């Protein structure tokens, strides 16, 4: 058994496999399928200061080797999370991480401040990249200035590990990553979904209620891999790679490109047990290639 442990900020993870926000519920939805404690970190559904109903149905369109979603951050708000969900997940023995979203800087900071008080939540992932909400979300993630402002405001009130989730819907993602690093982020995760669109030709109508939505799944992997490689060279903080990871080989590719950890998202819908299989597959890869630690393959791409 190789050493699979990695560190992200103050976070110690037993292995580099995490779940992507919005694809794994609060973990509990998957406990019939996998031993949650074998996953390095679980990033739960995006949480906002206030309750959000999300966008109208239909919210999903299948695309070749992928899908579009337009959920729009449906959640019951951080206070509901603290009172009703946190008690159910706080004793799961892995890193339970909350994805925090908002539409104004004050909301992000207030939500982060509230979650800072929860003993068994060791990190947050700041979502400055959701393409499915009209106000804010991605607005902060598409300019270096916007990213810097929101990360700084959260950094001031949040004392634990701060991960910032980046949008791929930008001209130069390294610029945003550097801004997040400069404002005090402990890590950046990328990529969030790519803005896309689906049309029903027979009906001459958009498939999604919001017309456009966020694309994920296997089809986005080459783009995500490229961006992770670019960002890993541009910043000194650990990078968490995600986007179209379907199996252990994809995960290893992201780590070779420079990711310290990886997240699995849409693949959970196709194989609800994929997370643990990826962790096992990474171990087999390391043993086969004679590496004693997974840390040896981070950025080990030979070019």
Partner 1 sequence: MKKYILDLTVTENVRLHNNYVLIKLTQDKPLPEMLPGQFAEIRIDGSNTTFLRRPISINYVDRTTNEVWFLVQLVGDGTRQLATVKKGDTVNVVLPLGNGFSMPENTDKKLLLVGGGVGTAPMLYMGEALKKMGCKPVFLLGARSANDLLQLDQFEKLGEVYTTTEDGSAGEKGYVTMHSVLKTTKFDMIYTCGPKPMMMAVAKYAKENDIECEVSLENTMACGVGACLCCVENTQEGHVCVCKEGPVFNYKKLLWQI
263 touches partner 1 (CB under 8 A): no
Q: By the 8 A CB rule, do 186 and 162 touch?
A: yes
Of 11, 115, 123, 130, the catalytic one is: 130
Q: Mark whether 130 is an active-site residue.
A: yes
132 touches partner 1 (CB under 8 A): no
- Applying CB under 8 A, the span of 27-35, 137-145, 194-202, 235-243 interacting with partner 1 comes to 27-35
Nearer to partner 1, 192 or 230 (CB): 192
Tally of CB atoms within 10 A around 135: 8
CA distance linking residue 22 with residue 255, whole number of Å? 22
On the CB side of 255, CA atoms within 13 Å amount to 27
Closest distance of CB 75 from partner 1, Å: 9
269 touches partner 1 (CB under 8 A): yes
Rounded alpha-carbon distances, angstroms, from residue 228 to 90, 93, 222, 236, 278: 31, 29, 10, 13, 19
280 touches partner 1 (CB under 8 A): no
Closest distance of CB 187 from partner 1, Å: 24
Pairing mode of beta strands 187-190, 212-216? unpaired
Nearer to partner 1, 145 or 222 (CB): 222
Contacts of 269 (CB under 8 A, 6+ apart): 23
Query: Can you read off the two tokens belonging to residue 178?
Result: 């550097």
Residue ranges of the alpha helices (H) in the chain? 78-80, 86-89, 105-116, 138-141, 144-157, 173-182, 221-234, 248-256, 267-270, 274-288
CA distance linking residue 203 with residue 185, whole number of Å? 46
Could you say which residues in the range 48-87 bind partner 1, by CB under 8 A?
Answer: 53-54, 56-67, 69, 71, 74
Closest distance of CB 56 from partner 1, Å: 8
Closest distance of CB 70 from partner 1, Å: 9
Closest distance of CB 202 from partner 1, Å: 12
Could you say which residues in the range 191-220 bind partner 1, by CB under 8 A?
Answer: 217-218
Nearer to partner 1, 5 or 63 (CB): 63
Give the residue, chosen from 32, 91, 202, 302, that forms a contact with partner 1 under the rule CB under 8 A.
32
Give the residue, chosen from 270, 292, 293, 301, that forms a contact with partner 1 under the rule CB under 8 A.
270
Closest distance of CB 66 from partner 1, Å: 6
SS3 content of the chain, % helix, strand, coil (to 5): 35, 25, 40
What is the DSSP code (8-state) at residue 58?
A: P
Give the residue, chosen from 199, 211, 273, 301, that forms a contact with partner 1 under the rule CB under 8 A.
273
Q: What angle (nearest 5°) sits at the alpha carbon of residue 103, between those of residues 223 and 48? A: 90
Nearer to partner 1, 98 or 173 (CB): 98
Residues that bind partner 1 (CB under 8 A): 22-25, 29-30, 32-33, 45, 53-54, 56-67, 69, 71, 74, 217-218, 266, 268-273
Residues acting as catalytic residues: 130
């Amino acid at each position: 058994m190789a050493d699979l442990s990695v560190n992200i900020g103050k976070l110690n993870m037993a292995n580099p496999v995490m779940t992507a926000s919005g694809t794994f519920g609060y973990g509990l939805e998957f406990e019939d399928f996998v031993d949650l404690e074998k996953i390095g970190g679980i990033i739960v559904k995006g949480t906002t200061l206030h309750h959000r109903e999300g966008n109208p149905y239909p919210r999903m369109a299948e695309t070749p080797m992928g899908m579009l979603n337009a959920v729009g951050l449906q959640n019951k708000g951080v206070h509901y999370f603290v009172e009703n969900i946190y008690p159910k997940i706080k004793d799961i023995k892995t890193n339970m991480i909350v994805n925090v979203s908002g539409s104004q800087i004050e909301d992000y900071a207030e939500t982060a401040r509230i979650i800072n008080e929860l003993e068994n939540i060791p990190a947050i992932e700041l979502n400055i990249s959701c393409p499915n909400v009209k106000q804010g979300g991605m607005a902060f993630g598409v300019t270096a200035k916007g990213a810097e402002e929101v990360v700084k405001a959260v950094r001031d009130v949040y004392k634990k590990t701060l991960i910032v989730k980046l949008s791929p819907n930008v001209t130069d993602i390294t610029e945003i990553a550097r801004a997040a690093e400069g404002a005090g982020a402990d890590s950046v995760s990328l990529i969030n979904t790519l803005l896309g669109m689906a049309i029903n030709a027979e009906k001459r109508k958009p498939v999604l209620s919001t017309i456009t939505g966020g694309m994920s799944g296997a089809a986005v992997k080459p783009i995500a891999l490229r961006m992770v490689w670019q960002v890993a060279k541009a910043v000194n903080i650990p990078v968490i790679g995600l986007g179209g990871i379907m199996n252990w080989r994809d995960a290893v590719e992201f780590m070779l490109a420079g990711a310290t950890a990886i997240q699995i998202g849409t693949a959970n819908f196709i194989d609800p047990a994929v997370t643990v299989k990826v962790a096992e597959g990474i171990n087999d890869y390391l043993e086969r290639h004679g590496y004693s630690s997974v840390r040896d393959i981070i950025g080990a791409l030979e070019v």
